[in-house]
Amino acid sequence: MKGNDKLTAALCGSNGEHTTNRRSQVVVGSFLIVIFVLLLTACASRAQPAGTAWGVGAFDSNGERIYFTATSESGSPITYSGAPSSRGWMMMGGQLACVSCHGPSGKGGEHSMGMMQVMDAKDIRWSVLEGEFDAEKFRLAVVNGEDPDGTQLNSDMPRWNISDNDLTDLIIFLKTLP
Between 64 and 156, CB nearer to ligand HEC:
156
Angle at CA 153, nearest 5°, toward 147 and 154? Answer: 170
Give me Rg for the CA atoms of the chain. 27
Number of CB atoms found within 10 A of residue 98's CB:
23
In the complex, the smallest distance separating the C-beta of residue 43 from ligand HEC, rounded to whole angstroms, is 26
Chain contacts with ligand HEC (rule: CB under 6 A): 83-84, 96, 98, 100-102, 119-122, 124, 138, 141-142, 147, 153-154, 156-158, 160, 170
**71 vs 100, which CB is nearer to ligand HEC?**
100
Please, which residue, 13 or 86, has the CB nearer to ligand HEC?
Answer: 86
Phi, psi of 83 (to 5 degrees): 85, 155
Whichever of 13 and 137 has its CB closer to ligand HEC, that residue is 137
Give 13 or 147: the residue with its C-beta nearer to ligand HEC.
147
For the four alpha carbons of 138, 145, 78 and 113, in that order, the dihedral sign comes to negative
| Minimum gap (Å) between residue 29 Cβ and ligand HEC | 44
Q: Smallest distance, Å, CB 58 to ligand HEC?
A: 18
From the CB of 69, what's the least distance to ligand HEC, in Å? 10
Pure H helices in 92-134: 98-102, 126-129
CB atoms within 10 A of CB 106: 23
Query: Which of 21, 23, 19 is CA-nearest to residue 8?
Result: 19
CA distance linking residue 108 with residue 101, whole number of Å = 6
For residue 32, the minimal CB distance to ligand HEC (Å) is 41
